[in-house]
């Protein structure tokens, strides 16, 4: 290009560089403190990041308390959620991502859902649907370590370690009318140990018509798994349905 760069060339180089940089929104900038409740700080950081193209939400290393939080989209652009945590103790619920495209979840740590207390108050006969998503080690959940519900599309789950529990599930599907299709699900490099099931797709009996398609399970290691691969179209736990 020579020694001298034109204004147009400089502008292009700056543009190319900026496309690889994400604006960082650290929850500490919104009042989060070690051992404190960061529900409000996380919600505010997410809202700010969601309004910016190519952003990143960061939770720094530490132990925090967290109530029920729903992180809503749609967002202005692709967003990255990085939680690098030693322990994450939920007080009342879990973390829910809704109506978001191009979400990447990264990091390491422990989500302590206090399951023993939660199961005492569950209402599975009506609506509990437990999720544990993407790049996580899911130990002793007592249920599905990953559960993909209706309307979920284009999700890649990598290097998950699961067990004991019920395994990795698509569903339960078909309980309600007009459920949205499930498609483009990829589970790659998972390890399941001492689980009731391995990978499965489950639908309620006599369910309305629906579609689950383009589902791939690749390089899944199973050790002491009851049903390694299961497609169950008569899923009816605890006699919750009319098994027709």
DSSP conformation letters of 117-173: HHHHT--TTT-------SS-EE-S-SSEEEEE-TT-EEEEEES-EE-SBSEEEEEEE
Mean pLDDT, the chain, whole residue set: 77
Residue 114 has pLDDT above 70, yes or no: no
Q: What is the mean pLDDT of residues 75-87?
A: 77
* pLDDT: which is higher, 120 or 207: 207
* pLDDT: which is higher, 223 or 129: 223
In this prediction, residue 67 carries a pLDDT of 80
Residues 6+ apart with CB under 8 A from 225: 167, 192, 193, 194, 195, 196, 197, 198
In this prediction, residue 149 carries a pLDDT of 85
CB of 181 within 8 A of CB of 210? yes
Which helix (H) or strand (E) segment holds residue 188: the answer is strand 182-188
- CA dist., res. 32 & res. 42, Å (int): 8
- Confidence tier at 89 by pLDDT (50, 70, 90): low
Range in 5-19, 51-65, 84-98, 208-222 with the lowest mean pLDDT: 5-19
Q: What is the Cβ-side half-sphere exposure of residue 63, based on CA atoms within 13 angstroms?
A: 5
In this prediction, residue 209 carries a pLDDT of 85
Q: What is the mean pLDDT of residues 64-68?
A: 83
- Confidence tier at 133 by pLDDT (50, 70, 90): very low
Residues 6+ apart with CB under 8 A from 15: none
* pLDDT: which is higher, 212 or 95: 212
pTM equals 0.60
Q: What is the mean pLDDT of residues 35-61?
A: 90
Query: Which residues are marked as active site?
Result: 143, 166
In this prediction, residue 62 carries a pLDDT of 84
- CA dist., res. 134 & res. 159, Å (int): 8
Residue 120 has pLDDT above 50, yes or no: yes
The tokens for 154 are 């284009």
- Confidence tier at 113 by pLDDT (50, 70, 90): low
């Amino acid at each position: 290009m020579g020694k001298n760069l034109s204004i147009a060339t400089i502008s292009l180089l700056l543009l190319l560089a900026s496309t690889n940089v994400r604006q960082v929104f650290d929850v500490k900038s919104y009042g989060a403190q070690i051992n404190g409740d960061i529900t409000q700080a996380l919600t505010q950081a997410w809202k700010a990041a969601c309004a910016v193209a190519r952003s990143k939400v960061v939770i720094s290393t530490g132990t925090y308390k967290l109530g029920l939080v729903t992180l809503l989209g749609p967002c202005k652009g692709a967003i990255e959620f990085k939680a690098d945590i030693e322990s994450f103790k939920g007080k009342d619920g879990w973390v829910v991502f809704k109506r978001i495209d191009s979400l990447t979840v990264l990091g390491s740590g422990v989500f302590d859902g206090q399951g023993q207390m939660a199961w005492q108050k569950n209402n599975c006969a009506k609506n509990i649907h437990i999720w544990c998503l993407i790049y996580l080690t899911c130990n002793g959940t007592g249920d599905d370590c990953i559960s993909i519900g209706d309307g979920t599309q284009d999700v890649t789950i990598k290097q998950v370690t699961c067990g004991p529990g019920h395994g990795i599930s698509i569903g339960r599907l078909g309980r309600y009318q007009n459920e949205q299709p499930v498609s483009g699900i990829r589970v790659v490099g998972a390890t399941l140990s001492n689980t009731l099931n391995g990978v499965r797709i489950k639908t309620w009996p006599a369910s309305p018509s629906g579609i689950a398609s383009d589902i791939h399970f690749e390089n899944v290691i199973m050790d002491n798994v009851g049903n390694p691969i299961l497609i169950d179209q008569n899923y009816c736990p605890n006699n919750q349905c009319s098994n027709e």
